């Protein structure tokens, strides 16, 4: 993908230091990585239910997902930072907004991650022979960049949850299943809905925390558009919807009911969100929701494979 025209730098000068390795790791936002790992687990479980696991494509799919997730996080850091959206930030550490790294270095890190995802994706395409997957990969990278990048980022228009559901739910799960089993069935689609809903719940919790600052910065996320109360209801509905989607596979795969064990981890974040938690208290909700997605996905994958 060609290098897009850089966005304008904020008018106020920022003194940049040399970011440490620990700061780069923090800016990669490791707590969001379950959103990349889980769809590969569930997609692999669905493949096992269809025709058996193919480990090489599965591992490559994981590389693609992880590289895209980290790339999205660095791209958001860059684009939000140069727009000034992160000037008064409550959430996790940002490289550009804090002045720890030059914007161009963070942008280049995002592109490096996208390149890794692209290379791993090319190998998957070559192994599967499904060259149309190149279009899916290109769309995934473009969607990752233009979430907060470009002149009209769709994340600023309240469409971020659509991106997450499609690419970290439907595409990631069914794509993982396809490159291993050569086809997609209803089980994979149900698993994709489960994963997509929980991935969206992570983003909804993140954007709920940032409603005050996003509104001031003109970032019209879905949470800003809905308002705090309806966003809290949406979060709970997404968590419940994920379990409902997973349980639709039980008539054909009885062990998929194992996913209900993850309900233990759902109680605390749902209570916190519905109870009015805000600001830094929602950082714990992000962590809990990520752990919930990972555990629910692992249990569903196991149940489908048994």
Mean pLDDT within 241-257 = 98
Q: pLDDT band at 90, cuts 50/70/90? A: low
d(C-alpha 160, C-alpha 203), whole Å = 8
CB 192 within 8 A of CB 39: yes
- Burial of 16 (C-beta count, 10 Å sphere; 0-12/13-18/19+): middle
d(C-alpha 215, C-alpha 89), whole Å = 12
d(C-alpha 257, C-alpha 8), whole Å = 51
Could you tell me the pTM of the whole model? 0.90
Report pLDDT for 135. Answer: 96
Based on DSSP, count helices (H) and strands (E) in the chain, helices before strands. 14, 0
Residue 266 clears pLDDT 80, i.e. is over it: yes
Residue with tokens 């940032």: 210
Report pLDDT for 134. Answer: 94
Give the tokens for residue 126: 């070559």
- Taking the alpha carbons of 168, 173, 179, 185 in that order, is the dihedral positive or negative? negative
H-assigned helices in 182-227 = 186-209, 211-217, 222-226
Query: Which of left, alpha, beta for 99 (phi over 0: left; psi -120 to 50: alpha)?
Result: left
Report pLDDT for 94. Answer: 87
Query: Helices 263-274 & 281-305, crossing angle to 10 degrees?
Result: 150
CB 115 within 8 A of CB 68: no
Give the tokens for residue 95: 């490289």
d(C-alpha 175, C-alpha 179), whole Å = 6
By C-alpha distance, which of 298, 126, 86 is closest to 213? Answer: 86
- CA angle 205/211/213 to nearest 5° reads 130
CB 65 within 8 A of CB 172: yes
Residue 294 clears pLDDT 50, i.e. is over it: yes
Q: pLDDT band at 120, cuts 50/70/90? A: very high
């Amino acid at each position: 993908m060609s290098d897009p025209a850089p966005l304008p730098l904020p008018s106020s000068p920022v003194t940049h230091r040399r970011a440490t390795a620990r700061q780069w790791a923090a800016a990669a936002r490791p707590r969001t990585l379950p959103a990349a790992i889980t769809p590969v687990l569930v997609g692999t479980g669905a493949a096992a239910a269809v025709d058996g696991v193919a480990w090489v494509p599965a591992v490559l799919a994981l590389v693609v997902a992880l590289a895209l997730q980290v790339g999205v996080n660095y791209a958001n850091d860059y684009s939000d930072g140069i727009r000034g959206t992160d000037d008064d930030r409550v959430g996790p550490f940002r490289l550009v907004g804090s002045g720890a790294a030059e914007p161009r270095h963070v942008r280049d890190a995002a592109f490096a991650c996208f390149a890794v995802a692209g290379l791993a994706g090319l190998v998957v395409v070559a192994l599967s022979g499904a060259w149309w997957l190149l279009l899916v990969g290109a769309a995934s990278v473009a969607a990752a960049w233009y979430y907060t990048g470009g002149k009209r980022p769709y994340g600023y228009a309240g469409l971020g949850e659509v991106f997450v559901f499609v690419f970290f739910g439907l595409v990631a799960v069914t794509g993982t299943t396809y490159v291993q089993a050569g086809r997609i069935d209803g089980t994979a689609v149900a698993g994709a809905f489960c994963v997509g809903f929980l991935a969206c719940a992570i983003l909804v919790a993140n954007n709920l925390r940032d409603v005050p600052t996003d509104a001031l910065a003109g970032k019209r996320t879905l949470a800003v558009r809905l308002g705090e109360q309806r966003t809290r209801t949406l979060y709970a509905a997404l968590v419940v919807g994920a379990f409902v989607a997973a349980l639709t596979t039980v008539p054909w795969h009885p062990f998929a009911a194992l996913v209900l064990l993850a309900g233990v981890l759902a109680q605390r974040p749902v209570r916190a969100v519905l109870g009015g938690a805000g600001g830094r208290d929602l950082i714990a909700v992000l962590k809990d929701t990520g752990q919930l997605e990972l555990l629910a996905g692992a249990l569903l994958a196991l149940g489908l494979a048994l």
